[in-house]
Amino acid sequence: MAVEWSGLSPALLIRLDRDSGQPLRAQLEDRLREAIRGGRLPGGERLPSSRELARELGVSRGLVQDCYHQLLAEGYLTSRTGSATRVARFAATRPPSAPAPQPPRPALIADFRAGVPDLASFPREDWVRAVRTACANVANADLDYGDPRGHEVLRRVLAGYLGRVRAAAAVPEQLIVSSGFAQGINLVLRALVEAGIRCAAFEDPGYGSVENSETLRAAAQLGLRVVHVPVDEHGIDVDALAAGGAQAVVVTPAHQSPTGVVLAARRRQALVDWAVREDAFVIEDDYDSEFRYDREPVGVLQGLAPSRVFTIGTVSKTLAPAVRLGWILAPPALAAAVAAHKQVGDRGSSTLDQLALAELLGSGRYDRHLRRMRSLYAVRRSGLVDAVAEHAPSVRLTGLAAGFHAVAHLPPHAREHEVVAAARERLVGLHAMGGYRAVDQDAPAQLVLGFGNVPERAIAPGIAAVADLLC
């Protein structure tokens, strides 16, 4: 044998004993049968090649091949020409862990779920190219644990981007890269609790209630008192906010989620004045800012009061939720606290993904993708407006200045959950405003109509199929 005897396979956690009296081949067969029968090697699991296993054990390749042939013959293993030897699917005696398959549900004609971008438009090629560039260029030292705030290259590129596109007062030192909005709000709330904040306000309608919202659950888990502040056609009611005693508020100024209202100029100023006056903090969820259809460019609130506003952004709506990258632009005095919580929580986001995003942003491909998506959503938005005008002309749509959802106002007698259930029977996914409300009493009947991930060709048929339910 050319290789040194070890008797140990790390790849299979199997050990052979040369002094046991039992031949090595018989030992190997026994160990493999035991592992397969006991479920430790489950059906479908790939085994090392005979060459690899022989080298690990320090035995001849022929011995391993003989053993594999024997177990193939016994039905423990399967093998196809040109691919790896695997454990046979029916070999394991352990009960299958997967639940019994559900009967397939018929596909929906259209699902007007909000908050989902067009998943088919995810720029797969651009992402792979960006990861390839990142992997080719990353320094070895940058493959270690890094700055918990994120890689300096991405923070520099992001600061430039947020200044250019959002009129943010952004420097790399105030940016913390996160894995999206959910982690961003967690980190910000932790830093605020540490800074003595005890009560946080949320828009209503907005995240809904603790029962259905991770954001509100995160606040509750941190021991924050949660108050809800109504939203009207100009955005959050700042007088009500001021009366509620909160020391921080989470808002969606660019396109209120879910009413679609854009925070009015006077309210923007009032909100910032409140924060400055009360030493309070505004947490700006810069939701849907990338997709505006009107002619009024509005920057982030953060630019008005960088020491009182956190701005949280994400690529979940611009690229896809599957990417899990976002950022927090924090007041200078609190950036270190946010970064410390990121460090304790997960020691930073994937450096390779961060460098890929920096590459997308720096190369202009991110802007190009946004332009493409703006056109695509504008077409779907028109399609929705036209379909409602044609099939359900009495239904008013609001909230269409940005993003990819609208609010449909149902007649006074309608009940949201009945409309949703009846639409479901007709294979159309509709979604009630009720799920976004904290206080639901006497609220007008409304639906939140997302069109981001509804193909253009499905919009009119989807609306037509449920038109009578909406009127």
Site for its own copies in 167-206 (CB under 8 A): 167-169, 171-173, 178-180, 182-183, 186
Closest to its own copies by CB, 120 or 243? 120
- Kindly state the smallest distance separating residue 469's Cβ from its own copies, in Å: 26
- Positive or negative torsion for Cα 317, 319, 325, 330: negative
Among 1, 3, 26, 120, binds its own copies (CB under 8 A): 120
Q: In sequence order, what DSSP letters do the residues of 227-261 get, joined into one string?
A: EEEEEETTEE-HHHHHHHT-SEEEE--SS-TTT-P
Measure the N-to-C terminal CA separation of the chain; round to a whole number of Å.
Answer: 83
- Cis upstream peptide for 321 (omega within 30°): no
In this structure, are strands 175-178 and 14-15 parallel, antiparallel, or unpaired?
Answer: unpaired
Shortest spacing between CB 4 and its own copies, in angstroms = 11
265 is an interface residue for its own copies by CB under 8 A:
no
For the chain, the C-alpha Rg in angstroms (whole number) is 28
Of the pair 171, 427, the CB lying nearest its own copies is at 171
Find the binder of its own copies among 30, 52, 66, 440 (CB under 8 A): 52
Stretches 38-46, 200-208, 243-251, 257-265: which one binds its own copies (CB under 8 A)? 38-46
- The amino acid that residue 320 corresponds to is A
| Closest CB 10 distance from its own copies, rounded Å | 7
Per CB under 8 A, contacts with its own copies among 426-455 are 453
Q: How far is the CB of 466 from its own copies (least distance, A)?
A: 22
CA–CA separation, 92 and 101 (whole Å)? 19
Residue 221 CA to residue 27 CA, distance in Å, equals 54
Residue count at the site for its own copies (CB under 8 A)?
101
- In the complex, least distance from residue 440 CB atom to its own copies, rounded to whole angstroms: 23
Return the H-helix or E-strand segment holding 175. strand 175-178
**What ranges in 349-396 are assigned the alpha helix state H?**
351-362, 365-391
Binding segment (CB under 8 A) for its own copies, from list 39-47, 102-110, 278-286, 422-430: 39-47
- Contact positions with its own copies (CB under 8 A) in 323-362: 323-325, 343-353, 362
CB of 371 to its own copies, least distance (A): 7
In the region spanning residues 280 to 309, those forming contacts with its own copies, defined by CB under 8 A, are: 290, 292, 295-297, 299
Q: Output 217 or 409, the one with its CB closest to its own copies.
A: 217
Separation CA 202–CA 217 (nearest Å):
12
Beta strands of 26-123 (E only): which ranges?
Answer: 77-78, 86-87, 110-111
CA atoms of 383 and 119, how far apart (whole Å): 18
Q: Which of 3, 20, 23, 46 binds its own copies (CB under 8 A)?
A: 46
For residues 17 and 224, what is the distance between their CA atoms, to the nearest angstrom?
A: 61
* Closer residue to its own copies (CB): 295 or 413: 295
Given 73, 98, 100, 107, the residue binding its own copies (CB under 8 A): 98
Which contiguous run of DSSP H or E holds residue 159? helix 152-166
User: Which 3 state secondary structure label does DSSP give 380?
Assistant: helix
SS3 state at 325: coil
Q: Which is nearer to its own copies, 72 or 352 (CB)?
A: 352
Distance CA(409)–CA(229), nearest Å, equals 21
Instruction: Name which of 23 and 332 has its Cβ closer to its own copies.
Output: 332
CB of 427 to its own copies, least distance (A): 17
Whole-angstrom Cα distance, residue 267 to residue 309? 15
Of 21 and 223, which has the nearer Cβ to its own copies?
Answer: 223
Q: Which of residues 14-33 bind its own copies (CB under 8 A)?
A: 14-15
In whole angstroms, how close is the CB of 356 to its own copies at the nearest point?
9
Classify residue 372 as left (phi > 0), alpha (psi -120 to 50) or beta.
Answer: alpha
Min dist CB 230 to its own copies, Å, is 26
Among 314-322, 421-429, 439-447, 456-464, the segment contacting its own copies (CB under 8 A): 314-322
Residues 203-232 that bind its own copies (CB under 8 A): 214, 217-218, 221
Residue choice 143, 195, 379, 471 for contact with its own copies (CB under 8 A): 143
CA dihedral 23, 28, 31, 33 (to 10 degrees): -110
Q: In the complex, what is the shortest distance from the CB of residue 142 to its own copies, in angstroms, rounded to a whole number? A: 7
Pairing mode, strands 199-204 and 225-232: parallel
